[in-house]
Amino acid sequence: MKTDKACDLFWKFIKNPKLLYIITMGVVVYLVAAPIGMLLLSSIKATKGTLPFESTPFTLSNYRQIYLGSYYYVLFFNSLVFTMGSLLIGIPLAFLIAWLVERTNIPYRNLTYTLMLLPMAIPGMLSAMGWVLLLSPTIGFFNIIIRNMFNLTGEGPLNIYTISGMFFVEGIRIVPTSFLMISGFFRSMDPSLEDASSVSGKGMLFTIRHITLPLLRPGLIATIIFFAILLIEAVEIPLVIGATAGVNVFSTEIYDATHPAAGLPDYGTASTLGMLIVTLAIVLIMLYWRLTKRAEQFVTVTGKGFRPRLINLGRLKYPALALIFIYLAISVVFPFLILLWGSFLPYYTPPSMQLISSLTMKNYRVIWEYPGVQKAFWNTGVLGTVTAAATMILASIISWFTVRSQYKGKQLLDTLSFLPLALPSIVIGLGVMIVYLIVPIPIYGTIWIISIALVTRYIAFGARTMSAAQLQIHEELEEASLVSGVSWIGTFRRIILPLLSPSFVNGCIWVFIHAFRELSIAIMLFSNKSIVLSTLIYFTWDSGRMTDTCALAVILMVILFAVTLSGRIYVLKRIKTY
């Protein structure tokens, strides 16, 4: 009887779009505003040696400690060097590959485009671990080869445990996503101006410098700012490489403050650092908005059709293709193979012919017997599935209200759903942690608190994806359904969702992959009950069990490779269908 009443109440609620709008607004405010509010509150309280919910006086001592302490300026410098170094490696390389694929006649262009998606399936943590095994000054495989070739003694000569090693690994990791963004800008740019430059006798380099780069400026600025925000909050590579190198950045300092080796966490310092990162991110987004206000100056696509003319590279096309494959080897093949090698050994030893007889599958068999492994796989699967479904369902509802409805405050809903783009993962994890230390909802220490934080993190992507798809659906379809007597929820379920299904499924795949590999939020909210694959791999590595780490890493990469390629195949089939 109670179940029937609950079902009736649910359908009454969901059939009323105005009530659903109010609830949706409340959910988004709760997901986005609550963590920021708690973060700000914790930053102005004396919380050192106490918990956030304890009664303590308000103070600005946390801000004085950070803004007047010389140590935090070292943190700022390290974070700046790490961010700038990564951008200087990743963005030019991505631009070059995008230009080669979209504007030149290099062979196997479609295959190259697909292969550029593969590095996205390797989490930054695993990439860092792979490069530690390749460039460690003591056991690094490449260092051993160099020492043997030149009869060198001692360690090195290369050392991954430096800030340059950190931004080298991070720089090559951001190339695939940068490539996708920049190649999209190339495809939407009319090449007639470039053609005119070539016809007038200007060389290729002159055309790129004076025509191509200025026209791509808004897109390049957007890409740089987007990755600057991500790099400020990056925690995977700084934890794996920076911790050993003794190079701390903002993100690792927040983690250390909330996970001390002894004593209570320092939530005040962590929250203040979090607010500093949020401020930097908001400044960067405002800068982007200001720069793109003049975007009409760079418009080249009008009602006139165009077809890009491919530049004939002549003898250079095969060296250009070789350059792309060298990048793929550095970003995918080398880290994967060294981790695969380590997964077949009883204890880690650099590759050599003498060890081939020692290779074994034992690690893959016994790893399932270790405490927490099966729970980590189960938790990760549940977390990825629930987060993907919840994010995209909420995003679909948000997009309908912001695009179709006439309710007051829908711009606020749109802004709130976009705001998490300026909230780094480590900050969202910290904010959600503080919320559920105070709010009496018993999910702290479970995978559900991680899922809530991940939904908050990815709602900006989901809402933008579904809003773009919603704009392609004409209002007449909904109006015809409503005039025919079909309810709002019936129209949404039978007409809107089927038409949105390609974007919805693509969004689910994207969120699932990122939730499956997420470390920043998972490690901030970690407990024995909420262990997932990313945290299991990190703590296994941190405890020195290298071969077990390699086996887990290979399994995770194979899963992500499979999901990534399946998603690509699905997209291609949908394109052919439509």
Q: What is the pLDDT of residue 552?
A: 94
- Rounded Cα distance, 271 and 402, in Å: 32
Q: What is the pLDDT of residue 282?
A: 80
- Rounded Cα distance, 403 and 176, in Å: 31
More confident residue, 61 or 492: 61
Average pLDDT of 7-29?
73
Average pLDDT of 120-133?
92
Structure tokens at 545: 């069990």
Helix (H) or strand (E) holding 92: helix 70-103
Measure Cα distances from 208 to 158, 178, 211, 212, 214 in Å: 35, 18, 6, 5, 9
Confidence class of residue 541 from pLDDT cuts 50, 70 and 90? very high
Q: Which backbone phi and psi does 525 adopt, to 5 degrees?
A: -110, 20
Residue count of the chain, please give it: 578
Average pLDDT of 527-548?
92
Average pLDDT of 16-28?
84
Q: What is the pLDDT of residue 84?
A: 96
- Rounded Cα distance, 293 and 234, in Å: 29
Confidence class of residue 308 from pLDDT cuts 50, 70 and 90? low
Structure tokens at 325: 């494959």
- In a 10 Å sphere around its CB, with 0-12 CB exposed, 13-18 middle and 19+ buried, how is residue 64 labelled? exposed
- Which residues does residue 48 pair with via DSSP β-bridges, in sequence order? 266
Q: What is the pLDDT of residue 53?
A: 62
The helix/strand/coil state of 49 is coil
- Rounded Cα distance, 91 and 399, in Å: 31
Q: What is the pLDDT of residue 548?
A: 93
pLDDT one-digit tens code per residue, 160-218: 999 999 999 999 999 988 898 888 777 666 566 666 666 666 666 777 776 777 777 77
Average pLDDT of 403-429?
80
pLDDT at position 453 over 80: yes
Q: Which backbone phi and psi does 266 adopt, to 5 degrees?
A: -100, 80
pLDDT at position 142 over 70: yes
Q: What percent of the chain has pLDDT over 70?
A: 83
The torsion region of residue 233 among left (phi > 0), alpha (psi -120 to 50) and beta comes to: alpha
More confident residue, 494 or 510: 510
Q: Tally the C-alpha atoms within 13 A of residue 548's C-alpha that lie toward its C-beta.
A: 18
- Rounded Cα distance, 165 and 135, in Å: 9
Q: What is the pLDDT of residue 225?
A: 84
Q: What is the pLDDT of residue 478?
A: 65
Q: Which backbone phi and psi does 311 adopt, to 5 degrees?
A: -80, 130
pLDDT one-digit tens code per residue, 242-287: 988 899 999 899 888 888 877 778 888 888 988 888 888 888 877 7
pLDDT one-digit tens code per residue, 48-90: 666 666 677 888 888 998 888 889 999 999 999 999 999 999 9
- CB burial of 30-42 (b: ≥16 within 10 Å; e: otherwise) equals ebbebbbebbbeb
The strand ranges marked E within 360-480 are none
Q: Residue type for 314, please?
A: G
pLDDT at position 33 over 50: yes
Q: What is the pLDDT of residue 390?
A: 95
Q: Residue type for 323, please?
A: L
More confident residue, 318 or 371: 318
Question: What count of other Cβ atoms lies within 10 Å of the Cβ of residue 48?
Answer: 17
Structure tokens at 128: 């860092």
pLDDT at position 11 over 70: no
Structure tokens at 208: 């790129």
Q: What is the pLDDT of residue 204?
A: 65
Confidence class of residue 289 from pLDDT cuts 50, 70 and 90? low
Q: What is the pLDDT of residue 247?
A: 93
Structure tokens at 449: 């608190």
- Which residues does residue 104 pair with via DSSP β-bridges, in sequence order? 311
- Rounded Cα distance, 269 and 275, in Å: 10
To the nearest 5 percent, what fractions of the chain are helix, strand and coil? Answer: 75, 0, 25
More confident residue, 102 or 48: 102
- Rounded Cα distance, 176 and 253, in Å: 28
Mean pLDDT, rounded, of the chain: 83
Confidence class of residue 302 from pLDDT cuts 50, 70 and 90? very low
Q: What is the pLDDT of residue 330?
A: 96
Measure Cα distances from 498 to 10, 31, 494, 510 in Å: 22, 27, 7, 19
Average pLDDT of 515-532?
90
Q: What is the pLDDT of residue 185?
A: 73
User: Which distant-in-sequence residues (6+ apart) come within 8 Å of 173 by Cβ?
Assistant: 90, 119, 122, 124, 127, 237, 331
- In a 10 Å sphere around its CB, with 0-12 CB exposed, 13-18 middle and 19+ buried, how is residue 365 labelled? exposed
Structure tokens at 476: 């007449």
Confidence class of residue 389 from pLDDT cuts 50, 70 and 90? very high
Where do the H-state alpha helices sit in 174-249? 175-187, 192-199, 204-207, 213-215, 217-233, 236-237, 243-245
Q: What is the pLDDT of residue 296?
A: 45
Q: What is the pLDDT of residue 182?
A: 84
Structure tokens at 401: 């209200």
More confident residue, 486 or 272: 272
Q: Tally the C-alpha atoms within 13 A of residue 38's C-alpha that lie toward its C-beta.
A: 24
- Rounded Cα distance, 535 and 25, in Å: 33
Q: Which backbone phi and psi does 313 adopt, to 5 degrees?
A: -80, -10
C-alpha dihedral, 564 to 565 to 571 to 574, nearest 10°: -140
Q: What is the pLDDT of residue 73?
A: 92
Are 193 and 300 contacting, i.e. CB atoms less than 8 angstroms apart? yes
- 148-152, 207-211, 218-222: which is most confident: 148-152
Average pLDDT of 555-577?
76
